């Protein structure tokens, strides 16, 4: 990519009318937030944005949340959104910097070279004084989209276990400290509280300020304070693979891309009785 993965509202506003740029509203919220991303999109979105429903765009046949779909399925859904090869894609969300990084990571995993994230999301866009529009977007013209999965970008449970055992990569968990330490129940039934033995904890919120990513120098300090060395290979994880992408985005911003993201994350590991679980501080 010719530039960093994060772009400002000014940058996007200046290019919004370009024919090769597409904006995706990638808003998704935890159930406890009590927010409806579809209704919020209809009420206000960046002009011309298309709605990227994270649940619908994931593997709907998996019992786990937000798993990557098969490449041909993802390609078909992107074509239906009117997104084609070679387009510059900017994802944003309504929280600032929460679910858009997951969509950015999905796009990269499927071979999109120019995937970007609006730093600060819709709140930053509105704060900058730029307009929104309401209603449903018009039906886009279908385009040809090619999806080629980069298998190296996606880790499974065995990959994580090997990394923890051998020390070949740091496994960094984006969940809150209380969830990581097992001090509160997991939101999904049948998932044990705690963390992978040997994993590090770096809550995704520590990487942000007011819904925007901290500067590379600040990020370096945050990683160090949490015992994570960004110069060594990193596998990111979280509850269901969403906020793990925020760590991946932070590393990309620092010029140190993550090795991979554990797609099943704690929803898979914590529910598997064959996988070891630790509680308390690491």
Give the residue from 206, 179, 202 showing the smallest Cα distance to 278: 179
For residue 1 the two structure tokens come to: 């990519």
Separation CA 244–CA 102 (nearest Å): 8
* Phi, psi angle pair for 68, to nearest 5°: -60, 135
Residue of 164, 238, 242, 254 marked catalytic: 238
CB proximity list for 224: less than 8 A, separation 6 or greater:
none
List beta partners, residue 173.
201, 237
Pairing of strands 170-173, 200-201: parallel
Pairing of strands 212-213, 208-209: antiparallel
238 an active-site residue?
yes
Q: Which residues are catalytic?
A: 238
């Amino acid at each position: 990519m010719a530039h960093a993965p994060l772009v400002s509202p000014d940058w996007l506003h200046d290019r919004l009318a370009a024919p090769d740029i597409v904006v995706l509203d990638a808003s998704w919220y935890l159930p406890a937030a009590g927010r409806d991303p579809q209704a919020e999109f209809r009420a206000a979105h960046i002009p011309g944005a298309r709605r990227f429903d994270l649940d619908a765009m994931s593997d709907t046949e998996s019992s786990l949340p937000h798993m990557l779909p098969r490449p041909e399925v993802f390609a078909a859904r992107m074509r239906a959104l009117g997104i084609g090869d070679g387009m510059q894609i900017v994802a944003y969300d309504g929280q600032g910097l929460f679910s858009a990084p997951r969509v950015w990571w999905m796009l990269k995993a499927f071979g999109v070279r120019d995937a970007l994230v609006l730093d600060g999301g819709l709140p930053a866009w509105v704060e900058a004084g730029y307009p929104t529009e309401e209603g449903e977007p018009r039906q886009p013209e279908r385009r040809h989209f090619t999806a080629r999965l980069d298998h190296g970008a996606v880790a499974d449970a065995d990959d994580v276990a090997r990394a923890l055992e051998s020390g070949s990569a740091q496994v960094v968990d984006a969940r809150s400290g209380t969830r990581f330490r097992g001090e509160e129940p997991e939101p999904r039934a049948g998932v044990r509280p705690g963390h992978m033995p040997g994993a590090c904890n770096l809550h995704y919120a520590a990487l942000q300020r007011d819904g925007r990513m901290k500067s590379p120098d600040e990020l370096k300090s945050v990683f160090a304070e949490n015992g994570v060395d960004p110069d060594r290979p990193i596998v990111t994880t979280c509850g269901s693979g969403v906020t793990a992408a925020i760590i991946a985005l932070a590393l990309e911003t620092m010029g140190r891309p993550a090795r991979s993201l554990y797609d099943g994350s704690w929803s898979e590991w914590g529910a598997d009785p064959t996988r070891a679980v630790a509680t308390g501080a690491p």
